[in-house]
């Protein structure tokens, strides 16, 4: 070989090395910008800019034989993120032609099929991704998620349960496990499932209430609560970690468990007194029962004997609080009293606010924090919330009073979700919907009208990217709860204002999205409220509305008629009396169906469900009239996938699921479809161009 040829070959190798280095650098830059585009902290314009740079570099990368499939995969991901599913499918098909055994390519293909709601295809794609790379956790979680979409909930639960054991610190795995476990109930007592439930109840930054169905079923089977002859030893209960954690972290929505706790409460009270308050295990159990009563706002009934003891306890506590030499050696009295009534009902309880929390016995500190210190903090916060206009409407004033007295709901946990783009989330929910461009351009302004105690408003603020939220409500006390929880979770992109929807002119702002769920039907004239909201909704903006279903609330109407007939007072005592009559079956009609409502199991929930001062109910054809009158476009209901599949089986021609005449017929055949309420999105027309 001549010297010149060797030199030429060496030069060619150097050129190839240089090209490979360039391609590698381009790949690195493309992936950098793409990852930046996914960052929840990036502003929308930055997201668009990073995505644009990633796309530009990926198009250059396609010129490289070695990196062409990687480039096509990246282009597919970008098209998917932008909502162009056919384009995404084109790019990933090219990538798979070039590299068919790539787990990453099959993973992307699976997500494209998920976005297109082709769940069987998605499942197959994620399965192939795992065949090529069994360690690909993202494919395994996506496969479990697809199982939920297919309605295979138990399989999905077992998959997430296994993934959590492998990856306990993976926030996404944890989030999805808690989503699916909400639908899981144990058919029999399982010790290994109990141990898992105990671990999950100890986690932070999760929605523990998602575990309630599972935990309630385990406790029911463990203690044979459906067997009237079952015998339970209280000494076993004081050591039951699952029971104690559940009492502290959850509120229960099961009538058998409620009756069990009512019996347990009385036994705990009597045994604590007979032991002269010396049994700390019993006092610890009493405190956990009191915490559970805080969650349900002391909705349980109690008998005459307990009432007499309670009166004595109240006198002892008041005397201690009035004493100039009072100490903190009456925590046991507070725990026993709080099993039955809120500590805030005690006249002199504010005297304990300045007592350092660590001065109290350890078993009582969580109760003191929740029942005294948090309530005191909320009262101070309520005074600081700005009211932007007077509340003059008579119905509005009555509704305000209800929620000042009983803020609804007193939720416990915010939970966790992977932050996402609001528009993309809607596209995955609403068939055939294409999100407006404003979701990708600057800050998205969201109004939550009728925010109540704020759980949904805080989730919007925390888990949708680039949003600023204004939360309004008639009730300062409800907003105070929301604001305290916002501080707890360090959520800063939300403002709280006390306002009536009828006086929103004073707000002097407009919004891209308005969410008004469970509010308009409590107004004197819901259409007038909707009209006011639309005046501050931007052209092409979206409004989410939640309204009660006439069909689904037949039993509620019957119950409300009975309450009016017997003139039951709207008070804790009146609500307890009515609930007890339902639980014991002492009603002229069969009202057992009401036991299926989660609201039945808390005081504010039950008042909202059955004793509300104002309520309208609708049928789908009436929604159609309302939407047309407001010149809105109906975009679709928010419903489980199985309900959508059932609807399409009956009305296959309505591929977008927006024919309200068909929904009218469907609901007649399936009256529980909208048992919660109608939850739907509508869109305001674009602004007219001036000629």
- pLDDT tens-digit readout, 458-497: 999 999 989 999 999 999 999 999 999 999 999 999 999 9
Distance CA 515, CA 512 (A): 10
How far does CA 386 lie from the centroid of its chain? 26
Yes or no: is domain 17-149 CATH 3.90.180.10? Answer: no
Distance CA 443, CA 682 (A): 21
Give me the half-sphere count of Cα atoms (radius 13 Å) on the Cβ side of residue 600. Answer: 23
* Domain 394-551+617-683, CATH class in plain words: alpha beta
Q: Are 178 and 210 in contact (CB under 8 A)?
A: yes
How far does CA 270 lie from the centroid of its chain? 39
How far does CA 436 lie from the centroid of its chain? 25
Widest pairwise Cα distance in the chain: 111
- Nearest Cα to Cα of residue 525 among 377, 394, 423: 394
* pLDDT on residue 186: 97
All residues at 6 or more sequence positions from 320 whose CB lies less than 8 Å from its CB, including other chains:
326, 330, 333
* pLDDT on residue 690: 41
Give the burial string for 639-652 (b: 16+ CB within 10 Å, else e).
Answer: beeeebebbeeebe
Q: Could you give the angle at the alpha carbon of 368 between the alpha carbons of 366 and 374, nearest 5°?
A: 95
End-to-end Cα distance, the chain: 78
Distance CA 24, CA 672 (A): 57
- Nearest Cα to Cα of residue 91 among 101, 107, 80, 76: 76
Q: Are 301 and 580 in contact (CB under 8 A)?
A: yes
β-strand partners of 618: 549
What secondary structure does DSSP assign to 230-286, as a single string?
Answer: ----HHHHTT-HHHHHHHHH-----HHHHHHHHHHHHHHHHHHHHTTT--HHHHHHH
What secondary structure does DSSP assign to 163-225, as a single string?
Answer: HHHH-TT-HHHHHHHHHHHTT---SS--HHHHHHHHHHHT-SSS-GGGGHHHHHHHHHHHTTT
* pLDDT on residue 234: 93
Distance CA 360, CA 399 (A): 38
Distance CA 261, CA 302 (A): 11
**pTM for this entry:** 0.89
How far does CA 172 lie from the centroid of its chain? 15
Distances (CA, A) of 627 to 209, 549, 635, 657: 35, 16, 11, 16
* pLDDT on residue 458: 97
Q: Are 224 and 266 in contact (CB under 8 A)?
A: no
Count of Cβ atoms closer than 10 Å to residue 577 Cβ: 14
Distance CA 68, CA 62 (A): 4
- Nearest Cα to Cα of residue 440 among 33, 88, 52, 77: 52
User: What are the average pLDDT values for consecutive 10-residue runs of the chain, which has 691 residues?
Assistant: 55 61 84 84 78 90 87 94 92 95 97 94 97 95 96 96 95 93 96 97 92 97 92 93 97 93 97 94 97 96 96 94 74 97 94 92 96 96 94 95 93 86 92 91 94 97 94 97 96 97 92 98 97 97 98 92 87 92 83 88 94 95 98 97 94 97 98 95 79 41
* pLDDT on residue 691: 41
β-strand partners of 209: none
Distance CA 330, CA 343 (A): 13
Strands of 386-387's sheet in order across: 386-387, 494-498, 467-473, 444-449, 511-517, 537-547, 678-683, 633-637
Q: Are 333 and 320 in contact (CB under 8 A)?
A: yes
């Amino acid at each position: 070989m001549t010297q010149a040829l060797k030199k030429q070959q060496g030069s060619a190798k150097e050129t190839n090395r240089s090209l490979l280095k360039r391609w590698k650098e381009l790949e690195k830059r493309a992936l950098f910008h793409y990852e930046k585009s996914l960052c929840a902290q990036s502003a929308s314009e930055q997201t668009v800019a990073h995505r644009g740079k990633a796309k530009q570099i990926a198009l250059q990368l396609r010129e490289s034989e070695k990196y062409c499939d990687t480039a096509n995969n990246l282009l597919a991901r970008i098209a998917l993120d932008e909502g162009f599913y056919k384009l995404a499918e084109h790019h990933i098909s090219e990538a798979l032609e070039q590299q068919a055994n790539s787990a990453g390519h099959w993973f992307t293909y699976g997500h494209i099929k998920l976005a297109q709601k082709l769940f069987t295809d998605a499942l197959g794609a994620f399965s192939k991704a795992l065949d090529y790379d069994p360690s690909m956790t993202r494919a395994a979680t996506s496969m479990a998620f697809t199982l939920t979409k297919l309605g295979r909930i138990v399989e999905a639960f077992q998959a997430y349960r296994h993934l959590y054991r492998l990856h306990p610190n993976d926030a996404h795995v944890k989030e999805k496990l808690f989503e699916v476990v909400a639908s899981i109930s144990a058919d029999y007592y399982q010790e290994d499932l109990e141990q898992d439930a105990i671990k999950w109840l100890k986690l932070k930054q999760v929605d523990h209430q998602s575990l309630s169905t599972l935990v309630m079923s385990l406790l029911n089977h463990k203690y044979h609560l459906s067997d009237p002859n079952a015998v339970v030893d209280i000494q076993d209960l004081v050591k039951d970690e699952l029971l104690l954690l559940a009492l502290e972290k959850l509120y229960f929505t099961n009538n058998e468990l409620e009756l069990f706790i009512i019996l347990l409460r009385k036994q705990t009270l009597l045994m604590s007194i007979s032991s002269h308050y010396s049994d700390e295990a019993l006092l610890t159990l009493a405190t956990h029962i009191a915490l559970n009563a805080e969650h349900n706002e002391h909705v349980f009934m109690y008998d005459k004997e307990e009432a007499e003891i309670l009166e004595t306890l109240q006198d002892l506590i008041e005397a201690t609080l009035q004493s100039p030499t009072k100490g903190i050696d009456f925590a046991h009295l507070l725990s026993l009293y709080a099993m039955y009534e809120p500590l805030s009902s005690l006249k002199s309880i504010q005297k304990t606010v300045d007592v350092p929390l660590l001065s109290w016995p350890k078993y009582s500190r969580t109760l003191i924090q929740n029942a005294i210190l948090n309530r005191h903090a909320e009262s101070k916060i309520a005074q600081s919330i700005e009211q932007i206009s007077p509340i003059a409407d008579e119905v509005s004033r009555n509704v305000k009073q209800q929620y000042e007295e009983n803020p609804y709901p007193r939720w416990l946990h915010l939970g966790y979700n992977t932050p996402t783009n609001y528009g993309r989330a809607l596209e995955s929910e609403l068939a055939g919907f294409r999100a407006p461009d404003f979701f990708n351009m600057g800050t998205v302004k969201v109004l939550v009208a009728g925010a109540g105690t704020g759980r949904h408003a805080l989730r919007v603020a925390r888990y949708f990217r680039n949003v600023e939220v204004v939360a309004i409500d008639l009730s300062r006390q409800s907003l105070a709860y929301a604001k305290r929880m916002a501080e707890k979770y360090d959520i800063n992109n939300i403002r709280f204002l006390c306002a009536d929807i009828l006086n929103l002119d004073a707000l002097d702002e407009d919004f891209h999205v308005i969410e008004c769920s469970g509010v308009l039907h409590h107004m004197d004239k819901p259409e007038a409220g909707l009209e006011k909201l639309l005046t501050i909704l931007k052209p092409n903006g979206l409004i989410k509305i939640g309204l009660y279903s006439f069909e689904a609330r037949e039993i509620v109407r019957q119950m409300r008629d009975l309450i009016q007939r017997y003139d039951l007072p709207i008070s804790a005592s009146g609500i307890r009396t009515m609930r007890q009559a339902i639980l014991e079956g002492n009603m002229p009609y069969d009202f057992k169906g009401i036991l299926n409502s989660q609201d039945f199991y808390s005081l504010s929930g039950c008042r909202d469900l059955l004793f509300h001062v104002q309520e309208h109910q609708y049928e789908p054809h009436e929604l159609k009239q309302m939407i047309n009158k407001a010149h809105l476009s109906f975009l679709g209901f928010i419903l489980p996938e199985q309900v959508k599949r059932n609807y399409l089986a009956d009305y296959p021609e309505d591929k977008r699921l927006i024919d309200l005449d068909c929904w009218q017929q469907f609901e007649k055949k399936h009256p529980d479809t909208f048992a919660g309420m109608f939850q739907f999105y509508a869109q305001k027309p674009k602004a007219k161009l001036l000629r």
